[in-house]
Amino acid sequence: MSTVNDVIVSYGGDSKRYSRDFQTKEEFKKSWYAVLSRAHASVEAKVSCACKGKGQKSLAVKYHSGGDTYFLARYPNTGSQHSPDCIFFTLDKDNSGLKCYTQGVVKDLKDGGYGIRLDVALASSDSDSTSIVPIDNRNKSGGVSQNSMSLLGLLQFLWDDSGLNRWYPKMAGKRNPGKVFNLITHSAEKIKVASHPLSMHLLAGAYPSTPQETKNIKMTSEALMNKERLICLNVLSKYNPERHSNASKRLPIKFFSGVPVVLMNTENWASLEKRFSSEIANWRSGGNVICMAIGDLGKFKGKDTYYLKPLQIALMNVDENWIPADSSYELTMLNYLHKHERSFIKPLRYDASNNDVFPDFCLTDIGGHELFPIEVFGMDTASYLARKAIKESYYNERYGKDGWASWVAPAGPLPHLPDKGRFRVAQPEQKPLEK
């Protein structure tokens, strides 16, 4: 799992190191609060992470007035300075689909959260979506081109921020629906869409007779009263060919307690089939698929049951450990990495084009602060082979011929993986802090 590392707090030439235990254990809670309070109030204080990454790894002390708490946050665009096992580590934009967004689509807020410009409004009085599925940018030219984020992008942002696209062998058996939904809900508390806190609009799946079910029912009732939209996050229920045809009038979800019925029609199903063909195929073959829907609420006549008329639906493949995958070949690669007990990150595509180059997976356990990219190639069309050559050239130039691996699916042999290493202390680079 991600590690809470020691933190160094400096005032001029006076520095003090605070351990993980001091930051996290209940017996030191008041003392740690005092340390952060003093640093927050001082213009001289400098706070940094002691992980084995590179760069200054400066941290900002933030204050949350609602809970009277102080917390640490990384500075914008510094996540890649931290070691891959650090709680503050993030991939740089060059290694994920986040690089497709124009300035302002994702903003760092003063409270340590994020502001996101979504392409579907959260207020019913605002503009409607024109398509039941997110715009498909996969075959476009790529680059910095997206002026807003789709629902699929939001789903992957939540997965990314929650750390659910990371894996360490020690996590085996520790991820379950309740934990995953709790992580997503916690991430939603840090996000605002326009002026709307996302946490006030996001319904996560729930088991019967749980606090989450009660919360879902209350949120749905209040949203309907206030004419606001809701976003429902869930898992598609196990596929049943007799019940789940394109004539089904509702989206079949697994954790439905307190969640509105998501209405469907044949046109909606046809759109999902076209936009999310890999996800629908995976679902029908027994795989796990995450679903997210945003829409307007209603209530069935004569019943105490709510429904959601969807404006946009997004689907995402995940494996048994809730790691996302873009294709069946990537699911095979995930099984391979799990079998070899490797630690890795799955970079997410968001709304980026297939022409945007970044790894399908990155090993994080080879030592030092470097990542080891893994690319999955799976087509043989002329355009795809041209992109393949561009990607190979890029990886060779950036990482060296032995600094990355690939698999030509499905017939090629799965790649030889580098040995695991121990993280080494890296010398800090003297670069100006990005604020």
Contact 155, 119 (CB under 8 A): no
pLDDT of residue 159: 97
Identify the H or E element spanning 183: helix 177-188
133 class by beta-carbon count within 10 Å (0-12 exposed, 13-18 middle, 19+ buried): buried
Q: What is the pLDDT at residue 368?
A: 67
- Enter the tokens of residue 430: 């003297």
Tokens of 141: 């030219």
Cβ-based neighbours of 94, under 8 Å, separated by 6 or more? 358
Structure tokens at 153: 């992008």
For residue 155, which of 164, 147, 166 has the smallest C-alpha distance?
A: 164
Q: What is the pLDDT of residue 383?
A: 86
SS percent in the chain: helix, strand, coil, step 5: 30, 25, 45
**Adjacency order of strands within the sheet including 45-49:** 14-18, 7-11, 45-49, 58-64, 69-74
Return the SS3 of 152: helix
Which of 402, 322, 391 shows the shortest CA–CA distance to 360? 391
How far, in Å, CA of 169 to CA of 157, rounded? 23
pLDDT of res. 430: 29
Q: Which helix (H) or strand (E) holds 163?
A: none
Contact 377, 388 (CB under 8 A): yes
Packing angle, helices 328-339 and 277-284, rounded to 10: 60
Q: What is the pLDDT of residue 127?
A: 55
- Determine the pLDDT at residue 129: 58
Taking the whole predicted model, whether its pTM rises above 0.75 is answered as yes
Instruction: Give the model's pLDDT for residue 66.
Output: 66
Which tokens hold the place of 387?
């992109």
pLDDT along the chain (435 residues), means of 10: 87 93 95 96 94 90 80 86 87 87 90 90 69 83 89 97 93 94 93 93 94 94 93 97 89 95 95 96 97 95 90 97 96 97 95 91 84 92 90 93 95 94 40 30
Beta bridge partners of 234: 291
**Residue found under tokens 């709307």:** 196
Cβ atoms of 431 and 58 within 8 Å: the answer is no
Residue 37 · residue 70 · CB < 8 Å: yes
Which residues, 6 or more positions from 12, have their beta carbon under 8 angstroms from its beta carbon?
A: 44
Distance CA 283, CA 260 (A): 21
Give residue 90's pLDDT.
86
pLDDT at residue number 9: 96
Q: Are strands 166-167 and 191-193 parallel, antiparallel or unpaired?
A: unpaired
Token pair belonging to 224? 């309907």
Using CA atoms of 113, 111, 109, 10 in order, give the dihedral in degrees to the nearest 10.
Answer: -100
